[in-house]
Amino acid sequence: MKLIKKVNILIVGLGLLGGSYAKGLKKLGFPISAITKEQSSVDYALENGIIDYGTTKIEPEIIGEADLVVFALYPHIFKKWIIENQQYFKSGAVLTDVTGVKGCIVDEIQQILRNDVEYIAAHPMAGKEVSGVENSDENIFKGANYLVVPTKKNTKEAIELCSNLGELLGFAKVAVLSVEKHDRMIAFLSQLTHCIAISLMCANDDPDLVEYTGDSFRDLTRIANINDEMWSELFLSNKDVLLEQMDIYRNTFDKLYDLINNNDRDGMREMMKLSTKRRREFNKKV
């Protein structure tokens, strides 16, 4: 199956990401249906031409028409949804998702899933500090990375289809990596950075801080404005890997602390030179 315009796409969960997928794919000409929790999300999406059809109910016919189903749900809801509704999938349908952790769901879902349906995991590394379909925007994918996370059970065709989806959505880069590598990378790059932002914001309750702040503090704490329900689930879903990455970072922070404490200017400058050299590689390529 190639991702051509007659492919019917079903989005399950019309929030910020689900809505952004719908917007981007609708503009490309795909027929888009959606199943989501709130009628207000369906109404908004229909009024704004983001979807062709939407419902808050499990409608077997709608599920059965979909060639590609994108799950934009919390991990535990995703699992429950599959268990309860997988009988309605079209034979040969491909499922994918947007979940930020993989180890806790990919194997399990592939085990419980019907044999004639394939689930290929993906992680679009894009977001905003606001949620809901009302804030969805397909431009958040520009310049961002899209990760395809296959297991041994996945076919070459599904990996290609899923990669193709990322390209069509406008991601700057599509990469394919294993579940283990994905979760380790995400623990460091995304979960740890959220832990740091939360800690910074909670560490100091001086109300005057806001008067004296600069861009550095704003940049480091942008993601401290966080969906606590989702992120507490993501942290615990990847707990061991996250704690390991937190330890690695903390050791480095402690090293810098000791260098300052020991007036070791050369040691500090070495770390700064290394951080400068490495950081330059990370400038966004749009």
Judged by CB under 8 A, the chain residues 127 through 166 that form the site for a copy of itself are 127, 144-145, 147
CB of residue 152 vs a copy of itself: minimum separation in angstroms?
A: 21
By CB under 8 A, tell whether 275 contacts a copy of itself. yes
130 φ, ψ (degrees, to nearest 5) = -120, 160
**Residue 28 burial (CB count, 10 A):** 15
Task: Answer yes or no: are the C-beta atoms of 51 and 11 closer than 8 Å.
Answer: yes
**Site for a copy of itself, residues 20 to 79, rule: CB under 8 A:** none
Alpha helices in the chain (DSSP H): 16-27, 39-47, 60-65, 75-85, 106-112, 156-168, 179-186, 192-203, 209-212, 215-221, 228-237, 239-261, 265-280
Nearer to a copy of itself, 115 or 251 (CB): 251
By CB under 8 A, tell whether 280 contacts a copy of itself. yes
Q: Which stretch binds a copy of itself (CB under 8 A): 10-18, 38-46, 112-120, 252-260?
A: 252-260
- Among the listed residues 27, 37, 76, 269, the single contact to a copy of itself using CB under 8 A: 269
SS3 56: coil
Nearer to a copy of itself, 51 or 106 (CB): 106
**Site for a copy of itself, residues 110 to 129, rule: CB under 8 A:** 125-127
The C-alpha atoms of residue 60 and residue 28 are separated, in whole angstroms, by 26
SS3 208: coil
- Among the listed residues 108, 173, 178, 244, the single contact to a copy of itself using CB under 8 A: 173
**Site for a copy of itself, residues 217 to 246, rule: CB under 8 A:** 217-226, 228-229, 231-233, 235-236, 239, 242-243, 245-246
**Residue 124 burial (CB count, 10 A):** 25
Nearer to a copy of itself, 4 or 130 (CB): 130
DSSP 8-class letter at 133: G
